[in-house]
Chain A
């Protein structure tokens, strides 16, 4: 039987709506495991997973590690600074060496777009993309979808706007594909210098003014503004960015409806998002983090060949 997701999870763009729904549905029963006193099931006992992080990450790495450990997998964390990568070893050699140690899965975070696919084409193990350059961050996209679905019921016909540095954002791309596949209308809003030149060809609505985006949308996914974009000349200043594009309470109060506020983190409070919005009643930012573990458990489970229908049963019993 072909595994329902194939060998790897590299991006949301190639997935079908059914595959995305399957992951989200599979994540539902896994949410409950994290609420238990003993947060562990034996599903992946005996599996070896390497978390290969070539870029600094706290949230995503910890989330994956919890997901793996709660499924009883054996995990090893490799970070660029501690590995032979810093000694000039190529990605392909790193991959082959890991494979030679007979691992089952690799979770990779890398600064180069396409790095996860590059790895997946060269090793037998399952590969999960934990963010590749400015390409995709599929598990982030999935946890955003799960969080939105929790609140909106369905994404069909819902209007979701992604705000900020879409040009350099892998989160934006995964969100655009995932949301569109589930039937949502997708908007993007940001300075044109931080939107891809061909952005409208991606099938999204483009808003130049955050006020217009807020009036249109039912939820905003506010992207982190990388501070180095200012040095690179894409925007003149963080202060002006906040004044023109910042998601502020004043702007939200003028909206015709309450908007859900998402943010993939880490936040620059007072730049792309004001603190009273981030901590406000419509913020679901911490729910995203909680859902992240469940979604990643679902992805690990499905890639390991777990039968889709048995996710509910998989949670049965604590670690025996």
Chain B
């Protein structure tokens, strides 16, 4: 454990920092919680007051940032707390996470935002950045007080979990958020089309006899939001993109210089609706798993940057809430502790993206998009660092998650890529045993 004023040297790793086009083997030196220097010549003596960490064979990257997770506190501390969520994040290589406001009560005012921030600080693991609600109670009617929430530490606003049904409210939110320079993150779902749906609408839903959610439920709102961003000049961030059509619409918006950014989740990059198989509720989430064509389009969009970043949509549930009839089971899966390995296994290993792009989409780009500290290893930057073994294979055992949630579709699967150490502000917050 690094003590105050002690330098730490991460020795001999492959230091990968797309924020400064750096990809070189060498020593990363940390002091006083900040990046002090990168030295390509390794083997240098650093004196006695130095803690050396052997990183040979490992990747040393700016810490991963998850702009979309559900930490359930306040309200459902039985399924996750900010502390357990922040520790799960650290175990997954995340040095910072953004907590969605669909808590009970909803995080829709400065006091609630302050609570999330303080609980995050007390957890002493990954940094926790609160996201405030767009509307009071996430009811889709009246705007929440963005200004006071930003003052209390909110980094964005979102009604995630519930779509912003009213186009007028969305327009106003985009306009009002410009004042404070924060993105409006939208869960794109046209509620009347998606109502009652339990999975993607298609031949699998027809076979299983489950009500489907058509791709258009997402795409209608994607284009609505893009058009409103064009009208207002606001920054719209589109959450958990799941369809090929959405990718095409986002591409259309970006080509026109509209301020639209978008995220994709590891599960939408790796699994199709076939994972539901015999009504597997650990493959149930919203937006739902789609088809192979959708997955391919989203992978391609992550590669070319149409989708800016990877976010987990980590959504823990109590195991017996998922242990029920498919249509009645809650949406969502945990993702913090498998995100790196899923992206490694399904995107890097098949050479769809390279490691540098992975680090960009999981660290540099989230920091830039949400205007957060971190996302770089430049001198004087906060020492938020993730060290991972890109070749290590491991088998997912949900019982060993730091998260209280066990609802993962990857249980029992052998994945590639393991987080070895997570450093926040120069302090080790996670270290993989062995």
Residue positions of A touching B, CB distance < 8 A: 13, 90-92, 110, 112-115, 117-118, 121, 132-136, 170, 173, 196-199, 201-202
User: Taking the nearest CB of chain B, how far is it from the CB of A15, in angstroms?
Assistant: 14
Contact of B209 among A118, A135, A198 (CB under 8 A): A135
Given contacts A90-B320, A197-B206, A202-B203, contact A113 B214 (CB under 8 A): no
B327 within 8 A of A: yes
Contact B327 A112 (CB under 8 A): yes
Tell me if B3 is interfacial: C-beta within 8 Å of chain A: no
Chain A residues whose C-beta falls within 8 Å of the C-beta of B327 in the assembled complex: 112-114, 133
Which of B207, B323, B325 is within 8 Å of A112, CB to CB?
B325
B206 and A114 form a contact (CB under 8 A): no
Q: How far is the CB of B326 from chain A (nearest CB, A)?
A: 5
Report the bound CA distance from A145 to B239 in whole Å: 48
User: In the complex, given contacts A118-B326, A173-B207, what are 10 additional A-B residue pairs having Cβ atoms less than 8 angstroms apart?
Assistant: A13-B207, A113-B327, A114-B326, A118-B325, A134-B210, A135-B208, A173-B209, A196-B206, A198-B206, A201-B203
B191: chain A residues at CB < 8 Å are: none
Q: Which residues on B sit within 8 Å (CB–CB) of A13?
A: 207
For B202, the chain A residues whose CB sits under 8 A away are: 197-198, 201
Separation of A270 and B57 alpha carbons in the complex (Å): 76
Given contacts A91-B325, A112-B326, A118-B279, contact A197 B212 (CB under 8 A): yes
Give the interface centre of A113, A197, A199 by most chain B CB atoms within 10 Å. A113
CA distance A136 to B207 in the complex (A): 9
Query: For residue B210, which residue of chain A has the nearest CB?
Result: A113
User: With A and B bound together, what is the CA distance between A206 and B326 in angstroms?
Assistant: 29
**Cα distance A48–B207 in the bound complex, in angstroms:** 32
**Pairwise interchain contact B325-A201, C-beta atoms closer than 8 A:** no
How many Å from the CB of B104 to the closest CB on chain A? 20
Judged by a CB distance under 8 angstroms, whether B45 is at the interface is no
- In the complex, the answer to whether A133 meets B206 with C-beta atoms within 8 Å is no
Q: Which of B197-249 contact A (CB under 8 A)?
A: 201-203, 205-212, 214
- B350 at the A interface (CB under 8 A): no
Q: How far is the CA of A176 from the CA of B260 in the complex (A)?
A: 45
Assess whether B393 is interfacial by the CB under 8 Å rule. no
Closest to A119 in B: B325
Q: Could you say which residues of chain B place their CB within 8 Å of the CB of A92?
A: 320, 323-324
* Chain A contacts for B207, CB-based, 8 A: 13, 173, 202
Residues of chain B within 8 A of A134, CB atoms compared: 209-211
Report the minimum CB–CB distance from A195 to chain B (whole Å).
9
Minimal beta-carbon separation of A151 from chain B (angstroms): 28
Complex Cα–Cα for A110 and B325 (A): 10
**Does A112 contact B206, Cβ atoms closer than 8 Å?**
no
Return the chain A residue nearest B321 by Cβ: A90
Q: Which of A114, A201, A202 has a CB less than 8 Å from the CB of B279? A: A114
Instruction: Provide a sorted-by-A list of 28 A–B residue pairs whose CB atoms are within 8 angstroms.
Output: A13-B207, A90-B320, A91-B325, A112-B326, A112-B327, A112-B328, A113-B208, A113-B210, A113-B325, A113-B326, A114-B208, A114-B209, A114-B327, A118-B326, A133-B209, A133-B210, A134-B210, A134-B211, A135-B208, A136-B209, A170-B209, A173-B209, A197-B202, A198-B201, A198-B202, A198-B203, A202-B206, A202-B207
Alpha-carbon gap, A132 to B323, bound state (A): 17
B118 to chain A, nearest CB (A): 36
A117 and B279 contact, CB distance less than 8 A: yes
Q: What distance in Å separates the Cβ of A12 from its nearest Cβ neighbour in chain B?
A: 12
- Scoring A90, A114, A132, A135 by chain B CB atoms within 10 A of each residue's CB, the highest score goes to A114
Interface centre among B209, B210, B323 (most CB of A within 10 A): B209
A115: nearest residue on chain B (CB-CB)? B325
Tell me the bound Cα distance from A273 to B278 in angstroms.
Answer: 35
The distance from the CB of B376 to the nearest CB of chain A, in whole angstroms, is 46
Residues from chain B with a CB closer than 8 A to the CB of A114 are 208-210, 278-279, 325-327
Docked CA distance A115–B210 (Å): 12
| CB <8 Å contact, A201 and B206 | yes
Minimal beta-carbon separation of A117 from chain B (angstroms): 5
Taking the nearest CB of chain B, how far is it from the CB of A175, in angstroms? 13
Q: What B residues does A118 contact at CB under 8 A?
A: 279, 324-326
Known contacts A91-B324, A133-B327, A197-B212, A113 near B279 by CB under 8 Å: yes
Does A196 contact B205, Cβ atoms closer than 8 Å?
yes
A182 to chain B, nearest CB (A): 18
Report B-chain residues with C-beta under 8 Å of the C-beta of A113.
Answer: 208-210, 279, 325-327
A264 to chain B, nearest CB (A): 15
A92 to B, closest residue via Cβ: B323
Q: Which residues of A contact B201 (CB under 8 A)?
A: 197-198
Closest B residue by C-beta to A166: B206
Q: Which of B206, B212, B279 contacts A199 (CB 8 A)?
A: B206
Smallest Cβ-Cβ distance to B196: which chain A residue: A232
A37 nearest CB across to chain B (Å): 41
Q: Nearest-CB distance from B319 to chain A (Å)?
A: 11
Q: CA separation between A117 and B210, bound complex, in Å?
A: 14
The proximity string for B residues 311-333 relative to A, scoring 1 for CB distances below 8 Å and 0 otherwise, is: 00000000010011111100000
Q: Nearest CB to that of A10 among chain B residues?
A: B278
Most buried by A among B208, B278, B326: B208
| B205, B207, B323, most chain A CB atoms within 10 A | B207
A198-B203, A201-B203 given as contacts; is B324 within 8 A of A90 (CB)?
A: yes
Is A132 touching B203 in the complex (CB atoms < 8 A)?
no
Query: In the complex, what's the smallest C-beta–C-beta distance from A172 to chain B, in angstroms?
Result: 9
Q: Residue on B with the closest CB to A14?
A: B278
- Bound-state Cα–Cα, A135 to B201, Å: 14
The residues of A that contact B212 with a CB separation of less than 8 Å are 197
Q: Given the complex, which residues of B lie within 8 Å of A117, measured CB to CB?
A: 278-279
A240 to B89, CA, bound (A): 57
Contact with A along B268-280 (1 / 0, CB 8 A): 0000000000110
User: Considering residues A121, A133, A199, which has the most beta carbons from chain B within 10 angstroms of its beta carbon?
Assistant: A133
Residue of A nearest to B327 (CB): A112
Q: Smallest CB-CB separation from A90: which chain B residue?
A: B324
**Complex interface: chain A residues within 8 A of B320 (CB):** 90, 92
Contact, CB under 8 Å: A90 / B323: yes
Q: Which residues of A contact B203 (CB under 8 A)?
A: 198, 201-202
Give bound CA distance, A104 to B252, whole Å. Answer: 60
User: Closest Cβ of chain A: how far from B269's Cβ, in Å?
Assistant: 24
A273 to chain B, nearest CB (A): 23
Minimal Cβ-Cβ distance residue in A for B201: A197
- CB proximity of B324 to chain A, nearest CB, Å: 6
Docked pose: A201 CA to B207 CA in angstroms? 10
